Amino acid sequence: MISDAALLSVGSRGRRVVISIVLAFVLLAPAYHHHAKLVTAAGWFEVVAAIVMAGLSLWVVNFTDPVDPRVPWPPIIVVLGLGISLFAVGGENWLGALAISAALAGRWSRTALAATLSSGACTLAGAVVASVHHYSFGNTVSAVLTPPLAGLFAFSMARRIETLDSLRRTRAELARAAAAEERLRIARDLHDLLGHSLSLITIKAELAGRLMPADPDRAAKEIAELESVARQSLSDVREAVAGFRQPDLAGELAAARQLLDAAGISTKITAADTTGLARDVDSALAWAVREGTTNVVRHSRATQVAIQVSRDRAAVVAEIRDNGPAAPEENGAGPALPAARTTGPDGRAGISRGRPVFGGSGLAGLAERVRSLGGELAAGSIEPKGFLLRVVVPLTPQA
């Protein structure tokens, strides 16, 4: 099933391709039509300016992010100047260039003021040129109205796209929050269910033990009922847990904060946007956060923990770092393994050799899970004190 993020990415690429084709045609077609005018300075200017303007416009459209707060004003200002100059030199043939310059500035503007100023500059240029060259009424209206319409339409379209993107992200966050809340509800139900069932089993077992010497038949009946209760409890647990065995990263981060806060450990959690991760990748990172947090509480004697989840174009990295005074095995956690130096898909080195690593089944199972996706796990003591667990999982799982 294709995620909303994938659909959004495909739609964005499709829009950029269409816009690029339109830009190239509108700017280069008049230049080709007037290539015979290269004998004059004005002709040379029109052709060269059109080519430069097309190149800058295509670069802005295809290699800048419209939602990046850093607006690429230098190329946009150059495009504005070229569009106004082309219309001033070439006249009505370059009305499209004037409209494109206004639309490009409007699309990448972050505020209505910037979009209005850029559109106003193109409108003023259109009015001046139309007045100087004594355009007809229809051509004057086109020169005056086309730039602001193009610029403000592009600005409103950009805001609409940003709003839709924000709504998609909000919906994804709400879905994750709802899933986390559902898991908490099921956990509470399991607690109540097992509390009742185990209490009943304990009472019947004690009763059967007391009745065994004096009334074996009654004791046998109690044991039979105890078996029935146990079987029913097992069935209830299986039904309760069905469908939510795979954890998710957002829920595990929230659970980690709750667990560490309850243990009196200061917690700092930093997480990048993980919307649209593959289910196996999200699950592996969630298991890493769960295992790392559990080891901190059980073995580290730490007072501070930092959990960081970051991502780039190739991989997602989860790090759990504590300031515990000793390596895990020094607290009776289990046997130790040498910390191997590893390199993950993100290119960062793992833990340096020479410090012990807890070799229990939890980290071993986590390492197998991560390696099955083509990722890397590194764990070990760090200087001056503490323990670091780092898991690197590629965005595209590999066998």
pLDDT tens track for 124-162: 888 888 888 888 888 888 888 888 888 888 888 888 888
pLDDT on residue 35: 57
The first and second tokens of residue 120, run together, are 């106003």
Count CB-CB contacts under 10 A for residue 250: 21
Cβ neighbours of residue 133 closer than 8 Å, sequence gap 6 or more:
91
- For 269-321, the pLDDT digits (tens) are 998 887 788 888 888 898 888 888 888 887 788 889 999 999 888 899 999 99
Residue type at position 350: G
Q: Is 282 exposed, middle or buried (0-12, 13-18, 19+ CB in 10 A)?
A: buried
Transcribe 312-372 into DSSP letters.
-SSEEEEEEEE--SS-GGGGT---EEE----B-TT--B-PPTTSEEE-SHHHHHHHHHHHT
Q: How confident is the model at residue 6 (pLDDT cuts 50, 70, 90)?
A: very low
Of 317 and 50, the one with more pLDDT: 317
DSSP-based three-state secondary structure for 167: helix
Both 11 and 83 in one domain: the answer is: yes
CATH code of the domain in which 189 resides: 1.20.5.1930
In whole angstroms, what is the distance from residue 165 CA to residue 179 CA? 21
Number of structural domains, the chain?
3
Give the side-chain half-sphere CA count within 13 A for 160.
7
289 domain-assigned: yes
CATH code of the domain in which 314 resides: 3.30.565.10
Range in 157-161, 197-201, 211-215, 256-260 with the lowest mean pLDDT: 197-201
Q: How confident is the model at residue 248 (pLDDT cuts 50, 70, 90)?
A: confident
* Contact present, 92 and 129 (Cβ < 8 Å): no
Residue span of the structural domain in which 198 resides:
174-241
Both 207 and 119 in one domain: the answer is: no
The dihedral built from the CA positions of residue 378, 384, 387 and 388, taken in this order, carries a sign that is: negative
Q: Point out the domain boundary residue: 170, 189, 206.
A: 170
Give Cα 314 distance to the centre of its chain: 13
Q: What is the pTM of this model?
A: 0.40
Both 28 and 106 in one domain: the answer is: yes
Q: Over 50: is that where the pLDDT of 12 sits?
A: yes
Mean pLDDT of 332-344: 37
pLDDT on residue 179: 81
